């Protein structure tokens, strides 16, 4: 590589295939391993976190150490080391015998980070995906001159804080958006005029329903532009269908949505970035009176019991670009972040996982059909009207069932409301934490009761 090419990589910043380091250290092995298990990459030594170049010297001992680390990987690998001006550049190839380990540990590239995984987790990942990534494949149908929208490319550079002085093709290649002068699928998604001519299933469908079932449709909109435009379009559409409260803080009147805006943003970008683009299904957002469901095609890439503990990227280039645009926080933190955001916001969040789909459910506060604040007249036992103002419609319904059917057990409630038992147990815990219900009796014969409040 020449100096100009290396400087362009540094200006592009760290990402899926680029890592910058101040000096050679003991962590270099896990980066070798992560790159080999992903799509390969380059490590540039002599650069600070803020991209300031401080330079580095390569001694004979350092050179031997680098090759020893690569050879001691299992299976063994080779890396190429070169000195460009005062910088050390290590080229790690895409591994041909995946998965690789270093000192008995597995690492995989996730955005700009190297994440450690267990042996069976990484094997399962490669088996399920057959070592094929949708987003890194080149697209033969995309005609660069007619289909590439340069205004969207410039918008991307601005939002990701990449210098506009760099040649366009160099940026695209450095970000794995162009290979052999052909745009990759990730590049098509981000810089096309319209996505459906290339991937018919990549549009996002939003549907607003009248009630709580998929029967009466009030409104429907399909978003089929580029990835970034679709993200903002879908997010604004969902917000436009939510209820708001006006809260006075000091002299300011703040408009507060019924659901956490940050959690919704996280759910939407996760659905778009983690979906299975080989599937014929769409990302779909269904807005009901009592809930918002965000569904994407694609099963989990790991065992269900690891849900919320680990994260694997089905589309690593898309995740890398989303991270550069600050559309996601720390890579791999989405599920737990959504849980915390909703918990802090006082709303209920749930997940449904199937062999083909993943769904996030945000429960709303019912505003009609006689359920908002309606527990005052409809319930006996001294429950007050203000009680349900902070409950979602789905919790109101559960509370009504328990009040009308004392001593019901979780499995009975699950059958009556036709909800999964694990969902019911989470919702019961929420009501118990709010001290609205209690459990009486033994495990075998006991059940749940609505608590009475003093008038």
Q: Which CATH architecture has domain 3-126?
A: 2-Layer Sandwich (3.30)
Identify the CA nearest to 172 among candidates 136, 208, 216. Answer: 136
The pLDDT value recorded for residue 287 is: 97
Condensed to tens digits (0 to 9), the pLDDT of residues 176-221 reads: 999 888 999 999 999 999 999 999 899 999 999 998 889 999 999 9
Q: Which residue ranges make up each domain of the chain?
A: 3-126, 200-363, 375-450
Contacts of 405 (CB under 8 A, 6+ apart): 412, 416
CATH among 3.40.50.300, 3.40.50.12280, 1.10.10.10, 2.40.110.10 for 375-450 = 1.10.10.10
The string over 58-90, giving b where at least 16 C-beta atoms fall within 10 Å of a residue's C-beta and e elsewhere, is beeebeeebeebbeebeeebebebeebeebbbb
pLDDT value of position 374: 37
pLDDT value of position 125: 63
Q: What is the pLDDT of residues 41-80, one digit of tens each?
A: 999 999 998 889 999 999 999 999 999 999 999 999 999 9
The model's pLDDT over 129-176, given as tens digits with 9 standing for 90+, comes to: 455 678 988 999 999 999 999 999 999 999 999 989 899 999 999 999
Q: What is the pLDDT of residue 373?
A: 38
pLDDT value at position 369? 39
* Cα 285 from Cα 275, distance rounded (Å): 13
Q: CB count, 10 Å around CB of 97?
A: 10
327/22 Cα distance (integer angstroms): 27
Written out in words, the top-level CATH class of the domain with range 200-363 is alpha beta
Same fold, 3-126 and 200-363: no
What pLDDT is attached to residue 196?
92
What pLDDT, on a 0 to 100 scale, did the predictor assign at position 20? 96
pLDDT score at 147: 95
**pLDDT < 70 regions, the chain:** 119-132, 249, 301-311, 330-333, 366-393, 452-455
Calpha distance 446→443 (Å, rounded): 6
Please state, in angstroms and rounded to a whole number, the distance separating the CA atoms of residues 67 and 90: 10
**Residues 6+ away with beta carbon under 8 Å from 151:** none
Write down the pLDDT at residue 24.
92
């Amino acid at each position: 590589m020449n100096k100009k090419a290396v400087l362009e990589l540094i200006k592009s910043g760290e990402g899926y295939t680029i890592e910058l380091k101040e000096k050679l250290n003991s962590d270099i092995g896990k980066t070798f391993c992560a790159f080999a298990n992903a799509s390969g990459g380059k490590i540039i030594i002599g650069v600070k976190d803020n991209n300031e170049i401080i330079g580095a010297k390569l001694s004979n001992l350092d050179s031997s150490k680098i090759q020893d680390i690569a050879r001691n990987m299992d299976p063994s690998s080779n890396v190429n080391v070169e000195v460009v001006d005062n910088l050390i550049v290590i080229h790690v190839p895409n591994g041909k015998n995946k998965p690789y380990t270093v000192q008995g540990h597995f690492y995989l590239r996730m955005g700009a980070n190297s994440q450690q995984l267990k042996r069976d987790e990484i094997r399962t990942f490669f088996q399920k995906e057959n070592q094929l990534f949708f987003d890194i494949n080149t697209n033969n149908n995309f005609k660069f001159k007619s289909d590439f929208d340069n205004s969207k490319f410039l918008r991307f550079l601005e939002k990701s804080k990449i210098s506009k002085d760099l040649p366009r093709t160099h940026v695209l290649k450095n970000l794995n958006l162009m290979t052999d002068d052909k745009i990759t699928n990730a590049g098509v998604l981000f810089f096309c005029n319209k996505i459906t001519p290339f991937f018919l299933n990549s549009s996002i469908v939003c549907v607003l329903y009248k009630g709580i079932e998929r029967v009466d449709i009030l409104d429907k909109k399909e978003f089929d532009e580029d990835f970034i435009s679709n993200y903002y379009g879908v997010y604004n559409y969902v917000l436009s269908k939510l209820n708001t409260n006006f809260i006075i803080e000091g002299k300011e009147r703040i408009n507060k949505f019924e659901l956490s805006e940050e959690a919704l943003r996280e759910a939407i970008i996760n659905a778009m970035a983690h979906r299975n683009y080989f599937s014929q299904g769409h990302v779909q957002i269904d807005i009901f009176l009592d809930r918002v469901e965000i569904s994407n095609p694609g099963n989990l890439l790991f065992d269900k019991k690891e849900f919320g503990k680990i994260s694997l990227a089905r589309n690593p280039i898309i995740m890398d670009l989303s991270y550069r645009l600050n559309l996601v926080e720390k890579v791999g933190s989405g599920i737990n972040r959504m849980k915390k955001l909703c918990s802090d916001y006082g709303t209920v969040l749930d997940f449904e996982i199937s062999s083909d789909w993943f769904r996030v459910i945000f429960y709303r506060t019912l505003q009609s059909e006689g359920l908002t604040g309606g527990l005052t007249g409809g319930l006996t036992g001294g429950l007050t009207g203000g009680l349900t103002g902070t409950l979602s419609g789905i919790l109101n319904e559960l509370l009504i069932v328990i009040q009308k059917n004392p001593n019901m057990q979780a499995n009975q409630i699950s059958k009556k409301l036709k909800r999964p038992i694990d969902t019911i147990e989470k919702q019961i815990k929420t009501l118990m934490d709010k001290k609205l219900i209690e459990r009486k009796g033994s495990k075998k014969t006991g059940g749940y009761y609505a608590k009475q409040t003093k008038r």
